[in-house]
Every structure is written in C-alpha cells, then in structure tokens.
Structure 1
Amino acid sequence: MLLFGFLSIWVLLFGIVHSERPLEDGLLSDVDVKNLLQRLVVLEESLEVERQRNNKLEKTVNILTTNLEQTKRTFEEKCAALEKQLQNHLEERTMMSSSKNIEEKNEKWRTFKNNWQRKPVVHSWTPLDSSSKSKNRDSDALSIQRRDSTNLKKRLLVQPSQVPPSTVAFYAQRSTNIPASEVTSNHVLVYDIVTTNVGNGYHAPTGVFIVPESGIYVFSWSFRNGDHSQHSTQLMLNNNDVGLIHARISDGSISTTGLAVLHVNKGDDVYVKIPSVNHVGTIYNDVYGRASFSGWKLN
C-alpha cells in the first residue's frame, strides 16, 4: 500500500516537473509541492521500515524452518533407535524361547534315562513244588526274614525318582512261607516278587512303599492261612495303624484281603506288618495262593 502511494506521488511530481505549463496557472503552489515532497520522504521512511520488518520476518521463518528440520531429523533418529531396540528384544526373546525348549527336551530325556536306569529288576521265580520238604522251605524263609529285617533297619538308600511321574502304581507278591516261629509281633511282611513298580516307590528288599508324590492312594494287601491257624496283619502309615484284617480257620486254607483309601504325603512309608495279637500257624505262600501288596495313585 505504501509502495503504491509512493509511486503515485512520484508520478505526479514527475509530471509536474516535466510539464510545460508554468506554476502560475494555478495547478499547484509552492506550498503544495513542498508538502508533496515531505509526504514523499515520509513514504520512503515507511517503506524502509517495512523492508526491515520483512527482513526480520524472513529471518524468523528461516530459523523456524531450520528448527523444524532438526526436530524432524531427531524424531526420525529416535524412531529408528526404538525400532532397532524392539527388533533386538524380539530376537533375544526368540533365542531364549528356543534355548528353553531345548533345555526342556534335554531335561525330559535325562529324567527318562534316570527312571529307566533306576527301574527295579523283577526277580524271576518258579512255583514251589508242593512235595518239597518243609524243612528246606522254613530254612529259606528264615534266611530271607533275617536279611529283610536288617535292610529295614538300615532304611532305603535308593530314593524315588526326583521328578514324580504322572502315574504311580505297584504290585508285589511274597515267594516263600513265613513259619510259625517267625510270625511275631511287629514282623514286617516283605513281598519280594515285584510285578509292577511305576514310579519306583516300592522297595522289595524291605517291603516298604515310599510315597514319591503326595495324593490320594488305594492300598490292598492279603495273606493266606492254613489248617488250624489264625493271623492278623495291619497296614501301617509311618508309625500309625491305618488298616487291620484277621482270619481264622480250623480246616483247609483261606486268603484274606484288606483295602484302604488314604491321603499320603511325599516321603511317607507304607508297609504291612503283624500286630501284637495272638498268632497260630504258618502264613503260606505257594501255588495255592500268595500274599500280595499293591497300591496306586488316584489323583
């Protein structure tokens, strides 16, 4: 706007100066010309102020543009750094997951190998000849009983598997008779013929089942009486009586079975023994029937 006014005044003065008509014609007086010249000076000053203001605005715009570009570059660099950190984190998690899977597979293999190495050997046996001499059978039974009593005092050196299996079950039978002279109070029955021992909890040398995993278990035990005999057996949980059965017969033979459902904890001892009551006769184990001890985990 100032530039337009300045140009208008300049054109007017130029026309007056170069006009052939004298000033006496009454178009402009000297005062008018003087005023116009002063106005021209003011307009020039205003124009200079506007130029300076435009220069400042231009510098401000340049500074803002530079700052904006720097901010943009900084933002892009930070985004790139965050993206790189995220990528490294994902790669690290992938590597850790792979390592964990490999370690779990190795642990399963070690557990399987240890369980297989600790799997007890099932003793082979042949049925006893009913015509064998009772003296030899009684001698063998006495020898086994003494050995078993010694092992029970020493406790077991072989413990259950370190990693409890999902299924726990055992089943064992006794191979020899227990003569009347050996049927005494607190006599622990040893079932030395092991058929099933999933979890390695049952130990044939002592007749004790050491619980490898806490839970609800079912236990069953039995024995067989002969002519004119009576006996009792009880199921023991550590030092507590948790089951008792009794059988008496005057002629022939009879097998008696007990059953118990118990909650037991890892490391508890479960076994069968003869209680402190009257006992008469031999406990038989032959082709006509054998004493057995079994148990399995419900949950």
Structure 2
Amino acid sequence: MSDHATDAATEVFVAHRNLLFTVAYEMLGSAADAEDVLQETWLRWAGVDLGQVRDQRGYLVRITTRQSLNRLRAMKRRKEAYVGPWLPEPLLTAPDVAEEVEFAESVSMALMLVLETLSPTERVVFVLHEVFDVGYDEIAAAVDRSPAAVRQIAHRARRHVDARRPRGVASPHETRAVLEAFQRAVETRDLRGLLDVLAPEVVLVGDGGGVKHAPLRPVVGADKVARLIVAGLDRVEGTLTAAPTVANGDPALVVRLDGEVDGVMAVRVEEARITGLYYVRNPEKLTHVETETPLTRR
C-alpha cells in the first residue's frame, strides 16, 4: 500500500475508532480485548482497497464484528476457568453518556451482565441491532447468516434480555443520591444505614479474579450483604476512601486503599434502593478507571 493510501486508511480508521471500540466493548465486556480487536481490525483494514468500499463505516463495523465474534467464542473458555464471578471491565465515562438513556443502559454493568447470558452470536446480533441500529442485511453479512436467520436470532435475544433486564431503572440523579447515602454508611461502618439503603433482595457480586479477595459466588439479601461489607471494612489495614465517579454511564464509586485503586463499585438502583452491587477488584480490569474512555454509537 502506498503512503497516500495508508494515510487515507489511517484517517478513516481514526475517525471511527471510538465507535469501533464501543462496538467491541459492548460485545466483549472487556476493554483489553476490545483494544486487541481494534488492532486486528486495523491490520485487515490497512489491506483494503478503499476505492472498492462504498460504506467505510459499515465495512469497519463488519470487520470489528467478525473479530469480536471470534474473540467471544475464545473468551467463553477463559471465563469457564475464571475464579469466582466474572464482571465486565468498568470504564470511566463522560457524564454526557448518561444523557442518552438507552445507550447508557446498554453499557451499564447491570445490562452487560445480562448480555453475558446470551450466546456469542445472539450477543453480537443484539448489540448491533438494538444498540447501533444496524439493519438485518448488514448484520447477516457480518455473522455469515441469512437475514431471516438474523431476524429470528434478534427476536430471541431481545426476548431473553427483556425478561432479565432491570425494571424501573432510576435516573442518574436518583442513583447518585442513593449512592451518596450508601457511601456515608460505608465510611461510618453504619450497619443500620446500609440496611436502609439496600433493597431486601439486593445481590452483591464481587470480581477478584483469584488475585484479590472477593466472594466466590453472589451474596443475596440485605442483611447478609450489609454484614459482609461491615466485616470486610473491619479487616482493612490502611486508609480506605471512596470517591464518586461515572462508570459505564452510571454513578459509581472508585475505592482506594492508601491512595491506590482497590476497585470500582457500580450499583443498580430501583425504587430508591440498591438492588445490585458490582465490585470489580481484579487489577487486570482496573486499567481504565483513571481517565475517561470515550464511548459513542455514532
């Protein structure tokens, strides 16, 4: 490829990079794997004759989709050997992500966990159609299925997600207020305060990846979760702080121990109570919590 062609390919790729990263991240739940997919996408894009490509954005999304699907299938084996629950990698996001309600929900920790229950092909089809509004014909070309088959997969995936997605999701303002009450209760080790802010059926999911201590299975129920949190705080040696942030489009807390990032706590809030707590402590998943990651569906 000539220098001029390389420059042109680079310019197009850079213009769509944030979109391609978002597509890969929503499909994989891992920023590290999404970055690898982008590298693979670039290598294939660099060898394309741009003069033969009518829809450059669509072509790039198609390459990214195929690479993501291959990686999703490989990740399935990796997750089966993972120690304890597997949570998506948290990303610090700009506050304006929350302003696009449907998009913010699609990258939320709660919904991305639901996407983990889909098959690789179902997840890819759901993300492309429901989040990025890609047509069935275009998806069919990306996943090597007929448009009719893709339509059926999309219907099945949507039904599966709708049955499991959080109901009555709170606004960012309400979530922030509940999170502040939770933060105060944690900082003062206030068991009663925790019980007041946790829903009776709250579920705590921790991800230490076998590197950091975390529950090996989800903990269910306000009393169990509150007592586990207080007991964990009592064992802490050092200074623990929690600072509000925006992760995956939702208010969250970055927890630091003696100034070093210990984890990210994301929450799901329904009817002014916390129904889901997601604490990511695996150091390999905390590389994107110091600076914002630009996410976009355009």
Which of the pair is proportionally richer in strand?
A: 1
Q: Same fold (TM over 0.5)?
A: no
Which of the pair is proportionally richer in helix?
A: 2
Task: Please give the TM-score of this superposition, normalised by the length of structure 2.
Answer: 0.18
Larger radius of gyration between Structure 1 and Structure 2? 1
Task: Please give the TM-score of this superposition, normalised by the length of structure 1.
Answer: 0.18
